[in-house]
Chains A and B, each alone.
Chain A
């Protein structure tokens, strides 16, 4: 995979490049400021961009804004936001476009290299990878979408894990169920959410977006 790393701290940028190299991914560009990030995302078109939220020149949410701007230009351009803190507010903004290829994780998620690279690959493939903290916060607050009320407790759990970005196989391992059982849950869930399989849209992503975009 061709990866863009946008991170202003040299130490973390360097560590990320080494980590990705260890997993056989190539870092095609790096950026250390918001404008650089936007420019690199649009000109180099990496398979996936790893972007830090806070970056120079303003030390505010430069990176997030650059990523959002790039995705407005090129919908679905895969972005994985890495931050010291996760905020529901930012998660909603990232998901508001309604397209997949989005991830939002805490920086310490790189501690588990396998899982991190797995999430990165999922995002590059148009899926989602959300930090469990965001999912947990979304679960506990906010008025629910009517359609979500119809889901059973098990289906809710499956959807939550799906929102984190896990595959059916991984969800099955977490819930101690077989992959085919999870498949049944997801099918009934998609029906309840009114997501028909017309071959064009990724139902998994749409279900997750429905789930996360409750307002």
Chain B
């Protein structure tokens, strides 16, 4: 009895779902049918009976394709927990320029409303997802739509005798409706998965966008870095060397006239040389730490830990040297995380572990600070995440308020 009850419940739910799928997927063919009916009604003599149905079919299909796709995607997600990513292209920001005009990424418009409208249409037309949705709306009625229509059609026959009001057909209709009800709606799932997912072209386009943004980021960061180095050299070491040369020239001249002052100048010159060396050393450390060049990531992180005011423990199971850019990214990442632990989290102890996970290299930094760290736009951690993203790496932060905090950097490394 219970088995029968649950089967009936399933059949009932399935029947409703089949009806919903049939209505949604047959909506567009219904518009087409209406257009054809209109043409037939107006007759062959009326010129409008050729133009109007074509316009109606095109406009109706275009207008309905996205809502139909969205609905099917929503229904599939609700009923089967199968999430099909929509992959619609997002519109960029619309900004007002100093000239008063609005720029939407494509064209200049006089008002913001025009700019948004223009952008909406351009994004819509250029979006490969639009064409994918159109293809789906053309395919779904003849596949999932037809199958989902079986239970409602059987029910119609059983109740109203639509095809032929013979009792035998009514019984067959009822049997078909009940038997097909739990299964008929399921046809929509494979169809939706196959035709609604992002096409390889869309995936590639997304990847290209991502890489373009990263390249721009890297270029900007690199240029800023080079400018910083130039400024440091120009104001620091170069200026000091000029001063050094001047002191030596003066000392040379004074050697005969005033040996004491010449001596003082020479001492000063020596001190200046020492200062400029120490400045250069700091600069070099910021560009590429010598230990990293000489020993690789593990020992460089060990050296970092020794210089940190935190009591830092380093564990590593990594023998091979990595690619220099990867080493550098991970080293500076660890350095930044350690600095954060001191400056923001007020930690007293930290633990750094370097390990490999398949072809990934994993660097984890844990501290006993007060936690609450998060990735904020424009913040240091967001910058770190961007720098790791250049290598297809990732940064995960687990930092509940009150601590302890844990950061995990993962970088795929082909040479491992």
Residues in B neighbouring A53, C-beta threshold 8 A: 294
DSSP class of B's interface residues: helix, strand, loop or mixed?
Answer: helix
A137 within 8 A of B: yes
Within 8 A of B (CB), among A126-174: 137, 140-143
A54 touches B294 (CB 8 A): yes
A88 within 8 A of B: yes
B245 within 8 A of A: no
What's the nearest-Cβ distance from chain B to residue A213, in Å? 12
A43 within 8 A of B: no
Tally of contacts, chain A with chain B, CB under 8 A:
53
What's the nearest-Cβ distance from chain A to residue B236, in Å? 15
Which single member of A60, A107, A108, A140 contacts B295 (CB below 8 Å)?
A60
What's the nearest-Cβ distance from chain B to residue A116, in Å? 12
A89 touches B277 (CB 8 A): no
For A83, the closest partner residue in chain B by CB is: B290
For A63, the closest partner residue in chain B by CB is: B294
The answer to whether A111 and B307 touch (CB under 8 A), given A53-B294, A84-B281, A85-B281, is no
A108 touches B273 (CB 8 A): yes
For A142, the closest partner residue in chain B by CB is: B306
B306 touches A137 (CB 8 A): yes
CA A54 – CA B299 in complex, angstroms?
Answer: 15
The answer to whether A89 and B294 touch (CB under 8 A), given A84-B281, A111-B273, A140-B309, is no
CA A84 – CA B279 in complex, angstroms?
Answer: 12
For A143, the closest partner residue in chain B by CB is: B311
For B280, the closest partner residue in chain A by CB is: A84
Q: Mark A78-90, 1 if CB is under 8 A from B, else 0.
A: 0000001101110
The answer to whether A60 and B299 touch (CB under 8 A), given A111-B273, A141-B306, is no
A118 within 8 A of B: no
Within 8 A of A (CB), among B276-302: 277-278, 281, 284-285, 290-291, 293-295, 299, 302
CB-defined A-B contacts under 8 Å, sample of 29: A53-B294, A54-B294, A60-B294, A60-B295, A61-B294, A64-B294, A84-B284, A84-B290, A85-B284, A87-B303, A88-B303, A88-B307, A89-B291, A89-B295, A89-B302, A92-B306, A107-B277, A108-B273, A108-B274, A108-B277, A108-B278, A111-B273, A111-B274, A137-B306, A140-B309, A141-B306, A141-B307, A141-B309, A143-B311
Give me the interface of B with A, judged by CB distance under 8 Å. 270, 273-274, 277-278, 281, 284-285, 290-291, 293-295, 299, 302-303, 306-309, 311
Seed contacts A89-B299, A89-B306; 10 additional CB < 8 Å A-B pairs? A53-B294, A54-B290, A59-B293, A60-B293, A85-B281, A87-B290, A88-B306, A89-B303, A111-B274, A112-B270
